[in-house]
Amino acid sequence: PPEIAAAPLEALRRGEFGAGGSSAASLGLLASKASAQPKLNGIIESEPAGEPAPSMASTAQLAEPASEDAAHASDDEGSQPERRPIRRISEQRRQRRASSAGALTVDEVDTNGAPWREQRVLAGHMDCVRAVDTRGDVAASGGDDGVVAVWALEAARPRRPGARDAGPTAMLRGHLSAVTSVTVGAEHVYAGGLDSSIRAWALPAAGGACGDDVAGVFPAREYAGHTDAVWGLALAPHASLLASVSADATCRLWSTDAQQTPAAPRATLRGAHCPTALCFARDGGGDARLAVGYASGLVDVRDLGAASSAVAFHAGSRVTRVAQQGALLAVACAGGAVQVYDARTGASVLGSSGILAYPAAGVAATAVDIADPFLVTGGSDGAVKWWDWRRPQRSVCEVGSAHAQKADEGVCAVRFAAGSDVLTAGADGLVRL
């Protein structure tokens, strides 16, 4: 009421206004509670005795800005912190910074490097995904559920905003336990597992969906010879040759043209240590060379034409993955370091220390791939990092929680796909593009 709005605030505090004692006391109690606050709706700081309080109408006018622009202006000038916008920098400035400081500030974006952002989640596995490989538009993955999933990458790319998950085009079965390695050929996909077997399936026809060909779900060929888990598989780029490494401490070579099944190995290479990873040279130039990494940290590059070791060197700790492009050989180790070597001489390209990609104690570099000049690495902490090996002081891009951890496992495999795309697989049962 107007008479209350016009009453002195001090009178309201004392409860002296009006004739009704109870209502006056109630008003006094409310006024005392209001006066205990340092601010009343951000408007009244203090009110001297005998000075009229503003009416409710005038209070509403004070509390509400006259216009929407004024409201935004008051927000910007008031409690809102100053926001620093992300600035895109020019190529000339990027080069100056790279040559001087070697790093960009937090609020700047390196427009020269590829900005890796998650495009799609490839969901289909029921457990940890341990291996992923790609050839052209086809990708394959294998995991602890004993299944090999085949994906069409072009179909997996999002067609509309918000589309995230994509299913496989085929689910291939045949292994009796976890699948630990996969590789994709021109006509077949090969997988090795904890059951010591290597199995091959014909690739689904273009546009075929899961379940279209029931016979294609089961393996067309089997390679028998290993007596323990198969840790890695690799196909020679321009030869009908498949190589495998196993916990039985052997590296075996197989002919992909073999008609009989199960097929026997063409050759068996034995060493003093247990092999853990392998790869062929991707460019296929000259004689076929096979790089094999061992649990002892040894890396042996073999010239298959001469059936002998061309060069050997020590990477430091247990080798978890190797990847080669041309003369560059990338090696990931259980100690968290990643190193790049000249595969022809065994000399380190990055110096003796290499890249300590995962410096935290107990975190292993579990995956690596190379597409010159970039490296992509995965760690047991679930982080995926991109590097320019020419400037290894800091990563180009990082995704700290690319895959959720399960026990002591995070990222299990990484692979460059067509262009600058990257596939990652992890303990959370997902493949990310």
What digits encode the pLDDT tens for the residues 150-204?
998 887 666 555 556 778 888 999 999 999 999 999 889 999 999 999 999 998 7
Give the closest residue to 172 by CA, choosing from 213, 117, 233: 213
Alpha carbon distance 413, 402 (integer Å): 12
DSSP state letter for 204? P
Q: Is the pLDDT assigned to residue 79 strictly greater than 60?
A: no
Question: What are the tens digits of pLDDT across the range 25-34?
Answer: 444 443 444 4
Question: What are the tens digits of pLDDT across the range 367-416?
Answer: 999 987 899 999 999 999 999 988 888 899 999 889 999 989 999 999 99
**Once rounded to an integer, what is the mean pLDDT over residues 21-28?**
43
Taking every pair of C-alpha atoms in the chain, what is the biggest distance, in angstroms?
Answer: 113
* Overall pTM surpassing 0.75 (yes/no): no
Give me the pLDDT at residue 119, please.
84
Give me the pLDDT at residue 50, please.
47
Residue 35 pLDDT class (50, 70, 90 cuts): very low
Alpha carbon distance 319, 337 (integer Å): 10
Question: What are the tens digits of pLDDT across the range 284-298?
Answer: 455 678 999 999 999
Q: Is the pLDDT assigned to residue 51 strictly greater than 70?
A: no
Q: Is 59 exposed, middle or buried (0-12, 13-18, 19+ CB in 10 A)?
A: middle
Give me the pLDDT at residue 103, please.
37
Cβ pair 66, 72 in contact under 8 A: no
Tokens, residue 241: 């040759």
Residue 145: Cβ within 10 Å count: 20
Q: Is the peptide bond prior to 262 cis by the omega test (within 30 degrees of 0)?
A: yes
Alpha carbon distance 230, 166 (integer Å): 29
Alpha carbon distance 53, 346 (integer Å): 86
Question: What are the tens digits of pLDDT across the range 98-155?
Answer: 444 343 332 333 434 446 888 889 988 999 999 999 998 899 999 999 999 999 888 7
Matching residue, tokens 């291939």 = 172
Alpha carbon distance 14, 32 (integer Å): 8
Give me the pLDDT at residue 427, please.
95
Residue 155: Cβ within 10 Å count: 14
Cβ pair 232, 198 in contact under 8 A: no
Tokens, residue 149: 């999933």
Give me the pLDDT at residue 10, please.
54
